[in-house]
Amino acid sequence: MTQRTSLDDLDRRLLGLLDQNAREPTASLARKIGLSRSATQERIARLERDGAIEGYTVRLGRSGASERSTVLQAHVFLSLDARAGNSLPQALRIRPEVKRCHTVSGEFDMMLLVAVDGPKALDQLLDDIGRSPGVRRTQSAVVLDVKFERG
């Protein structure tokens, strides 16, 4: 897998549309970004090859989530040393429990959304992240309920 150094405007628009609905037909996506269906298919294939698209998923509604095993979500806030650089997000990317990684302003430098099987798994993940090079401290907030969510 090769890594693209930058995405153009059409790539970003296409990724935004796929983020909203990964099942949208290619012909519909093509109309929205102003390309032919085949050019859009080729662009999607390139984005997959280059790693901009790592996969497709299902977002379960409340009824679907309640049928699964218990999943504990938490926001994890990280204070970083300057030595963390760009290597930490790459190290976190390979952890399937880390669903989102944001750089943020304020007291903390980074915020993660993580999903684990329960408190013990969260404890282990926090220990692992806390030992990562460049991480000075972590603080976490467990998600109790989702009142609403937008794509």
Across 37-45, average pLDDT: 95
Please report the pLDDT score of residue 109 as a whole number. Answer: 93
Which bin fits 34, alpha (ψ -120 to 50), beta or left (φ > 0)? left
Q: What is the CATH number of the domain that holds 96?
A: 3.30.70.920
CATH number for position 40: 1.10.10.10
What pLDDT is stored for residue 6 in this prediction?
A: 75
| 62 within a domain of the structure (yes/no) | no
Mean pLDDT value of segment 50-64: 76
73 lies in some domain: yes
26, two tokens:
């290619």
Task: Give per-residue pLDDT as tens, 79-111.
Answer: 999 776 678 888 898 888 999 999 999 999 999
State whether 36 and 84 are in the same domain.
no
- Average pLDDT of the chain, as a whole number: 86
What domain count does the chain have? 2
Residues 34 and 74 reside in one and the same domain: no
Rounded to whole angstroms, how far apart are CA atoms 47 and 58?
19
Beta strand pairing call for 72-80 and 135-142: antiparallel
Residue 118 lies in a domain: yes
pTM strictly above 0.75: no
Q: Which residue range is the domain that position 36 belongs to?
A: 9-50
Q: Give phi and psi for 134, each to the nearest 5.
A: 95, -10
Inter-CA distances, 138 with 60, 95, 101, 123, 129, Å: 29, 17, 14, 12, 8
